[in-house]
Structure 1
Amino acid sequence: MTHVPRRRLLGFAVALAAVTTGVLTTGCAPEPVAAAPASSATQTPTPSPTPTPLSPVEQLLASAPDPAAACVVSFTGDGIADAPVLETTGALYAALPIPARDGFVFAGWYDTPADAAAFAVPGRVNGADLVACTDRQRTLHAAWKTPAENTAEGARLPILMYHQFTDKPEGESGWLRGNYAYIEDYRAHMQHIKDGGFYLPTWLELDAFIDGRLFLPDHSVIVTDDDADPTWLSMAAPINEQLQVLATSFDITGDGVATQNAFILPRSHTHAMHVAGANGKGQMVNLSPDEIAADLETSAAALGGVKEVVAYPYGHYDDRTKQGVAQAGFLLGRTIEQGYVSIGHDKLALPCVRINYGMTVADLQKLIG
């Protein structure tokens, strides 16, 4: 038997033990065991919440060019489905609708349901009023009349016609003396209209009234001035602004468009037809309908595209005038014939109430109440 040194036997025993246990003792550390591969399934991300759609009111506020002055006006009442409109706080209402309802005549927008139920003129809101808002929103309330009630009102609307003004109590001299109202008389007239609670319709309201679509109280009046004379601009128009009484200035746009204050509606007195033709009469009864329409298109463009009403120079008009006015897309034409506007009146032959020098408040009361 071969003799194996004890030291070699001991080493062999250790090696055998290492193989048996799966651990091989070497001079290096054992290689780490790789981790089990991760699951191949893709985790679904949590979806972002869907934004809540903006309401019509919120959409209008978000689109406002001047958010600080934005006022969204909503409408409510029987038969009302009109969408809210964006108005500008401190400016006149510009976009109030005139709704329709079968079997009824619209009787206006009001501050409160109580005002609407009572048809209270002080609470009626229209384009003669400045926009006022709380938290950039407000709601207006509709009122309705029956056609019979509308007819029974018997409203006869005066369209006051002024021209020039003077600060001389004794008036001006010359053949145009009657055209010059004393400015303090004019101030008293406007104060009477304001204090008397007269309703001041817009031209679109007058158009709807003539159609029988809109109820206007008999206690209504429209204030106008012809020519946009310097005395109107410097003396009279500021009174309307001070008293917040709506008026219309019929401007001859070919002479340059006048700058007006917030309570003055600039409207057309034609562009270049305020001159006499060969027969001594105004061009409105000398030119063709096409020529009249072209002039009025130019005038409307100068006034920002507004085509509500035109005042006929010298009051001259005929069928060709009406054809040209309608062809240009104007709704109304004002003459210098004396009278009042009622339901069904000829829209292109509106009469007026001429105001002459020397007329006092007592005289005005006889004409408009």
Structure 2
Amino acid sequence: MNEREKKKRVFGAIASLCIAGIFMMETKASADQVMLHETLPVYETINNQQVWIGALMKGVVYAAANGTREVEFGNSKVTISLDGGTVTASSAPAELEADDTIITKKQQFIFNRMSTDREPMAILNRNVRFPVTGKTGGWYTVNVGGQEGYIHQQSVEEDNGIPVLMYHHMLESPENTVFYNNSMVIKVAEFQKQMDYLKQKGYRTITMQELESYLRHKKNMVGKAVVITFDDGNISTVKYAYPILKEYGMKATQFLIGGQLNQKSRPWDENTLQYIGFDEAAVTSDVYDYQNHTLGMHLREPIGGLPYLQTKTYEEIKNDFLAAGERIGRIYDGDSARVKYLAYPWGQSSPQAIQAARDTGMTMAFTTETGNVKLGDDPYLLKRQGVAPRHTMEDFAAKLDGTY
């Protein structure tokens, strides 16, 4: 049987398994090894959907972690069940934390060697991010179940990172308001067009929690993943953006200025700024995750114009972060522990701000520096892709690709 016929037969079997949804298997396990008697798909939950990532192969012996049935697969581990069922991702981080990644362009095998007598040891679905440990000739090396595997470069593309889009305010016709020529205010029609593009191109919006799990090597991720964020908590993001996002089943994060968070928003006026209140947050939490943009540090010094996060002391910043978390946590019935992601005002931080973020339980913090997020990035200096009125759809596509 040639390689093409072999691939067709295995992928056909995988397709049947995916449709069936339940997989019976007979598994041999020791303290160190697991061997499957059926080829089994591996799934990951992304934005509340089960996504097929790839498969472990029948007859292949995989190394199990620490005497368990956890097998290294990509950016995390999968747990093998002895009594049948799917192979699901666990929350355990991969032991070999490779930071360079590729994205698959099609379904493909991971092979056990590069020579012509190679045999498949695992399968990857198309549009999957997968960490690589190196490159030899035209082959990328990867880790699967403690073994070295190989993927040919023709089947993949280099990964430029996950785009974290940044928005602020939007209006239907900003040119007819005091916000004319404001670089932070886009047209609603442009936002609609951008979300249409994400949907048409097959992007999945992921949550901050999913991004964090990926960066901590606890989660496998699709190639077309995007994070959507809004800074400041302008009510226009409820009035205009929320219905669009909800229609498409998308998720987004709101970084709120805690000092602007009152019971309800002031009446709508397109020539002034109004902010989301507790009432609005309560009815939009199915789409929005509400996080920290400081309580009262979204200010600059009157002389010199430096941001407060660069001039205030560690204690002042720490107390501000804590107070903001407590206030925003009221959205979650007082659970301030859920408020653990931060966007620095104007994207500008300082050593004392970063330390305060760490010490107050923040686990990721975002700047406004242009770029995409990659494995190995400093979690307290994460980049974003700002979207402004001047950006064309070509610019938007480049931001998603990490080439802007």
Q: TM-score, normalised by structure 2?
A: 0.55
Residue among 77, 91, 95 paired with 1:98: 91
Residue 178 of structure 1 is matched in structure 2 by: 183
Residue 5 of structure 1 is matched in structure 2 by: none
Residue 232 of structure 2 is matched in structure 1 by: 227
Cα distance in 1 for partners of 2:193, 2:180 equals: 25
Asked which structure has the greater CA Rg, the reply is: 1
The answer to whether residue 226 in structure 2 is matched with residue 201 in structure 1 is no
Residues 241 and 121 from structure 1, CA distance in 2 versus in 1: closer, same or farther, beyond 3 angstroms? farther
Residues 169 and 288 from structure 1, CA distance in 2 versus in 1: closer, same or farther, beyond 3 angstroms? closer
Cα distance in 1 for partners of 2:181, 2:150 equals: 44
Residues 270 and 104 from structure 1, CA distance in 2 versus in 1: closer, same or farther, beyond 3 angstroms? closer
Identity %: 20
Quote the offset at 1:204 in angstroms: 2.8
Bigger strand fraction: 2
Residue among 288, 293, 298 paired with 2:313: 288
The answer to whether residue 387 in structure 2 is matched with residue 326 in structure 1 is no
The answer to whether residue 255 in structure 2 is matched with residue 262 in structure 1 is no
1:181 partner amino acid: I
CA contact (8 A) 1:270 1:295 kept: yes
DSSP-derived class of the 2:228 partner: strand
DSSP-derived class of the 1:367 partner: helix
The answer to whether residue 168 in structure 2 is matched with residue 163 in structure 1 is yes
Residue 245 of structure 1 is matched in structure 2 by: 250
Of residues 198-207 and 177-186 in structure 1, the stretch that sits farther from structure 2 once superposed is 198-207
Residues 170 and 362 from structure 1, CA distance in 2 versus in 1: closer, same or farther, beyond 3 angstroms? farther
- Structure 1, residues 77-124: CA drift from partner, whole Å, max 9, x if none? 9625599xxxxxxxxxxxx9633354588x9xxxxxxxx9544669xx
Residue among 311, 315, 325 paired with 2:343: 311
The answer to whether residue 379 in structure 2 is matched with residue 352 in structure 1 is no
Residue 9 of structure 2 is matched in structure 1 by: none
Cα distance in 2 for partners of 1:285, 1:147 equals: 46
Quote the offset at 1:229 in angstroms: 0.7
Bigger helix fraction: 1
1:248 partner amino acid: T
Residues 147 and 176 from structure 1, CA distance in 2 versus in 1: closer, same or farther, beyond 3 angstroms? farther
Quote the offset at 1:347 in angstroms: 0.9
CA contact (8 A) 2:163 2:400 kept: yes
Residue among 266, 287, 299 paired with 2:324: 299
- Structure 1, residues 185-211: CA drift from partner, whole Å, max 9, x if none? 101111211221113232233223334
DSSP-derived class of the 2:165 partner: strand
Q: Unpaired segments of 5 or more residues in structure 1?
A: 1-70, 84-95, 108-115, 123-142
The answer to whether residue 220 in structure 2 is matched with residue 215 in structure 1 is yes
Q: Unpaired segments of 5 or more residues in structure 2?
A: 1-47, 57-68, 71-77, 82-88, 102-121, 129-143, 262-276, 330-334
Cα distance in 1 for partners of 2:248, 2:395 equals: 21
The answer to whether residue 194 in structure 2 is matched with residue 189 in structure 1 is yes
DSSP-derived class of the 1:178 partner: coil
- Structure 1, residues 224-246: CA drift from partner, whole Å, max 9, x if none? 11111121121112211121111
Residues 169 and 269 from structure 1, CA distance in 2 versus in 1: closer, same or farther, beyond 3 angstroms? closer
Of residues 211-220 and 280-289 in structure 1, the stretch that sits farther from structure 2 once superposed is 211-220
Quote the offset at 1:250 in angstroms: 0.8
CA contact (8 A) 2:372 2:383 kept: yes
Residue 342 of structure 1 is matched in structure 2 by: 374
Cα distance in 2 for partners of 1:348, 1:101 equals: 21
2:345 partner amino acid: P
Q: TM-score, normalised by structure 1?
A: 0.60
Residues 359 and 104 from structure 1, CA distance in 2 versus in 1: closer, same or farther, beyond 3 angstroms? closer
Residues 281 and 144 from structure 1, CA distance in 2 versus in 1: closer, same or farther, beyond 3 angstroms? farther
Quote the offset at 1:182 in angstroms: 0.6
Cα distance in 1 for partners of 2:170, 2:359 equals: 34
CA contact (8 A) 2:368 2:383 kept: yes
Quote the offset at 1:222 in angstroms: 0.8
Cα distance in 2 for partners of 1:223, 1:209 equals: 16
Cα distance in 2 for partners of 1:171, 1:144 equals: 60
Cα distance in 2 for partners of 1:82, 1:273 equals: 48
CA contact (8 A) 2:208 2:253 kept: no
CA contact (8 A) 1:156 1:341 kept: yes
Quote the offset at 1:153 in angstroms: 5.1
Of residues 341-350 and 202-211 in structure 1, the stretch that sits farther from structure 2 once superposed is 202-211
Residues 184 and 175 from structure 1, CA distance in 2 versus in 1: closer, same or farther, beyond 3 angstroms? closer
Aligned-pair Cα RMSD in Å: 3.8
